[in-house]
Amino acid sequence: MPIVALLAGCGASARPIVTTDAAAPIAKHCSPGSTSVGSNRLAVAAVVLRRATAYRGRGRRPFARFKRLNQNGFPTVFRVLAVVRRKDCTPAWYRVQLPIKPNGAQGFVRAGAVRIGSVRTRIVVQVSRRRLTLFRGGRPVLHTTVAVGSGATPTPTGSYYVNQRLVPTDPGGPYGPGAIGISAFSTVLTGWAEGGPIAIHGTNEPWSIGRAVSNGCIRVRNPMLRRLYAATPAGTPVVILQ
């Protein structure tokens, strides 16, 4: 299904691709109440089934609503940070990271509104070193040099996650063969479409790799982008360090 994904410095016609690991229980044994989930080896993702409402806390007013598909036609995905269990240990709520502003926004969604799956990959970007590392099961499996945001349009640091995966209609264009959208937004390009979302993507300017020249996105050489794209399902944590 063709869509238009307007990313911060990454606009391109594209089609959405979603992959998820097999669904897995968060814990085999539990006690009622709130328990944090996830580690450097394993993350938990939640995919919206039909629609989901985010609350500041249990019993509080809602502040954001989400459909099954986002504005790019990609399944809406959250990163699960904690599970709140009932007395019988069944999940009642999940505390999740949301793909909205401000960067790192969190909320509570009802357990019945989402489907849970496990993710064993993690991406770490070191902006000052122009370095990206992919981890699987806590072990580094891929390193590559990247281009990052310029001084005027910096790549936002923080803890995020892969929230959409897009394939440009022109693989020879400025975004290469793919774009891995993450839940971060530019902090300076506030007037851009969709709020200036950030992505990891390929490029038709290989000379830019290793430099601080982008509008905030992270550029990767196309051959490496293909490998990275194939290995990172939606829900993959992305940590961007200075």
Instruction: Give the active site residues.
Output: 201, 217
Length of the chain: 242
Residue 81: burial class (beta carbons within 10 Å; 0-12, 13-18, 19+)? middle
Q: Which residues does residue 115 pair with via DSSP β-bridges, in sequence order?
A: 47
Angle (CA) 95-96-98 rounded to 5° is 145
Q: Indicate the SS3 state at residue 113.
A: helix
8 A C-beta contact, residue 7 and residue 165:
no
Cα–chain center distance at 1: 21
Closest CA to 208 of 169, 150, 128, 153: 150
Decide the pairing of beta strands 43-48 and 114-119.
antiparallel
Residue 23, burial from CB neighbour count under 10 angstroms (0-12, 13-18, 19+):
exposed
Identity of the amino acid at 82: A
Those residues with Cβ within 8 angstroms of residue 50's Cβ, 6 or more apart along the chain or in another chain:
67, 68, 113
Give residue for tokens 């830019």: 208
